[in-house]
Amino acid sequence: MRLRIAVQSRPLALILLLVAALLITTACTVYSERPARKISDATGGEELEQLFWKEIKDAKWVELDRVLATNYSGMTPDGPLDRAATLDQYRTWKLKDYSLGDLKTKLNGSTFVVTYTISLNGTADSQPLPSTPQHMMTVWQQQKSGWMVIAHSVSQQSGQPPTPN
């Protein structure tokens, strides 16, 4: 009699196992990922860059101050900028909108290198920011305090006036 019960319970156990597996896999599709709302919640280079520009647009200078590393280096068509000069320059911006394109992210250990083009709509010191796309590269590094920008570069398409970093 025991042998018969074991044989009959095997199909039941397999069915229960199959049902459990199906429930687990459908749970993964029911709960979608939520986009990060702040840089400290970001998990990828694209998300870091989108949130960085959102903070500039929203004039969140304290948050920007937190994510620019103390040894930050910036390069613009006009020459290099240190951390303080970069923050001063961003504070003169009134960014209405921005659009990132051709975004590529490369992860190397604890560092993201993000390259992209950006189109800006706004002003810097009451002068319009260039409306033509600019090529940019940002280097993000994971540190104890979170993701930090350690380097950023801007390059203009030939024949275009330079833009602040």
87-105 tens-digit pLDDT: 999 999 999 999 999 999 9
Residue 139: pLDDT above 60?
Answer: yes
Number of domains in the chain: 2
Do 70 and 28 sit in the same domain of this protein? no
Do 98 and 119 sit in the same domain of this protein? yes
**pLDDT (0 to 100) of residue 7:** 46
Do 25 and 79 sit in the same domain of this protein? no
41-61 tens-digit pLDDT: 778 889 999 999 999 999 999
Do 60 and 124 sit in the same domain of this protein? yes
- Measured CA to CA, the distance from residue 39 to residue 24 in angstroms comes to 30
Mean pLDDT, the chain, whole residue set = 83
Do 10 and 67 sit in the same domain of this protein? no
Question: For the residues 68-72, what does the mean pLDDT come to?
Answer: 96
Instruction: Tell me, yes or no, whether 18 lies in a domain.
Output: yes
Do 11 and 83 sit in the same domain of this protein? no
More confident residue, 121 or 26: 121
Tell me the residue range of the domain where 43 lies: 39-155
Do 3 and 52 sit in the same domain of this protein? no
Question: For the residues 23-27, what does the mean pLDDT come to?
Answer: 58
Question: For the residues 61-67, what does the mean pLDDT come to?
Answer: 93
- Long-range residue pairs from 56-61, CB within 8 A, at least 24 positions apart, any chain: 56/90, 56/93, 56/95, 56/98, 57/95, 57/96, 57/97, 57/98, 57/122, 59/91, 61/87, 61/90, 61/91
- One-letter amino acid at 54 equals K
Do 6 and 23 sit in the same domain of this protein? yes
Do 44 and 12 sit in the same domain of this protein? no
Do 106 and 28 sit in the same domain of this protein? no
**pLDDT (0 to 100) of residue 46:** 92
**pLDDT (0 to 100) of residue 12:** 66
Do 63 and 28 sit in the same domain of this protein? no
Do 125 and 50 sit in the same domain of this protein? yes
Question: For the residues 102-115, what does the mean pLDDT come to?
Answer: 94
